[in-house]
Copies of this chain bind each other. A is one copy, B any other.
Amino acid sequence: VRRVLVTGGSGFIGLPAVGQLADLGLEVHAVARHPPNTASVVWHAVDLLEPRAADEIVRRVKPSHLLHLAWTTIPGEYWTTLENLSWLAASASLLRAFAEVKGERAVFAGTCAEYEWGSDLLVESKTPLRPATLYGSCKHALRQTAESVAAQASLSVAWGRVFFLYGPREHPARLVSSVARGVLAGEVVDTTHGRQVRDFLHVTDVASAFVALLASDVTGAVNVASGEGVELRVVTAEIERLAGVNGLVRRGRRPIPPSEPDMLVGDATRLRDEVGFRRRFDLETGLADTVAWWRSQLDTSDRT
């Protein structure tokens, strides 16, 4: 690894990933529209959706390694927004530029939404790919083109399929954040019945998994997943317990869209055995870390 370029560097996964890459002593360049001011990283204030922006940053930095995390992620909107097409376009331009500067290895953030959703464990080598959403389709399309470029160029490509994540600094509209924040503030939080089974990984571990994947020579799709399913009602009950409250989460008060699958759990065998990744947080310690962070935020805002 000579020089890494990370897109979405200030994002939920990007910020810890950039920090971990810098901690490894690598030369890290990170792209964000509004870069934070963190040391050991060369930040580039770039909006990748601007014309030629993807192309220009790659030609300027000439990275040997690329970690492409940037994409539209606005909760509720990102599944269907036409901006997914613009991210596909920008990513295709990024990929072309990276191949042209003779980049060696690229890792992309994919999604469990590329799979055909059913009730089985989602396995990279087995589960059919049949995205139900525009978000999933555009990611799926990008993966196919990236692998096609890799097949004809001396470029190594891996694709980390992200499942569900949580942790400090997550967007407050997401499930774990909104429940933690709500119950810590003593508010009632209405949720669905919560019997949906999901695969959660703490954002620090998601970032570590991407860093490990980038440093490895594993190619193709790899689930960035825990391999364990948990019901959402168990997650929210654990948050209540950690917050020291009871009965603030009211289950069954919100409908579940018919398109939502009962179960989304990824097989984590490739990530564990081929990439050699071990997670730092299980769900209990990870949620404790998250609730502690939200508590510190609320304490801070109390003082202001």
Binding site for B on A (CB under 8 A): 51-52, 80, 82-86, 88-90, 92-93, 95-96, 99-100, 131, 133-134, 136-138, 140-142, 144-145, 147-149, 152
Quick one: given A148-B133, A149-B134, A152-B80, are A96 and B85 in contact (CB under 8 Å)?
yes
| C-alpha spacing A89/B95, complex, angstroms | 11
Residue from A52, A85, A137, A152 whose CB has the most chain B CB atoms within 10 Å: A85
Closest Cβ–Cβ distance, residue A136 to chain B (whole Å) = 8
| C-alpha spacing A89/B85, complex, angstroms | 8
| A86 in contact with B93 (CB, 8 Å) | yes
| C-alpha spacing A142/B137, complex, angstroms | 10
| C-alpha spacing A99/B148, complex, angstroms | 28
| C-alpha spacing A89/B141, complex, angstroms | 11
Contacts of A100 in B (CB 8 A): 82
| A86 in contact with B96 (CB, 8 Å) | yes
| B140 in contact with A152 (CB, 8 Å) | no
The list of the 3 closest CB pairs from A to B, nearest first, reads A51-B51, A141-B141, A137-B148
Please name 17 pairs of A and B residues whose Cβ atoms are closer than 8 Å in the assembled complex, sorted by A: A51-B51, A51-B52, A83-B96, A84-B145, A85-B92, A85-B95, A86-B92, A88-B88, A88-B89, A89-B92, A131-B144, A133-B148, A134-B145, A134-B152, A136-B148, A137-B148, A141-B141
Which residue from chain B places its CB closest to the CB of A82 in the assembled complex?
B96
State the oligomeric state as a number of copies.
2
Contacts of A93 in B (CB 8 A): 85-86, 89
Closest Cβ–Cβ distance, residue A203 to chain B (whole Å) = 28
| B145 in contact with A138 (CB, 8 Å) | yes
| C-alpha spacing A93/B51, complex, angstroms | 11
B95, B134, B147, B152: the one contacting A148 at CB < 8 Å is B134
| A88 in contact with B145 (CB, 8 Å) | yes
Closest Cβ–Cβ distance, residue A103 to chain B (whole Å) = 12
| A149 in contact with B51 (CB, 8 Å) | no
Contacts of A95 in B (CB 8 A): 85
| C-alpha spacing A147/B130, complex, angstroms | 12
Which residue from chain B places its CB closest to the CB of A149 in the assembled complex?
B134
| C-alpha spacing A61/B169, complex, angstroms | 44
Contacts of A147 in B (CB 8 A): 137
| C-alpha spacing A152/B83, complex, angstroms | 14
| A149 in contact with B92 (CB, 8 Å) | no
Contacts of A99 in B (CB 8 A): 82
Residue from A52, A99, A131, A148 whose CB has the most chain B CB atoms within 10 Å: A148
| C-alpha spacing A86/B96, complex, angstroms | 8
Which residue from chain B places its CB closest to the CB of A143 in the assembled complex?
B141
| C-alpha spacing A137/B88, complex, angstroms | 14
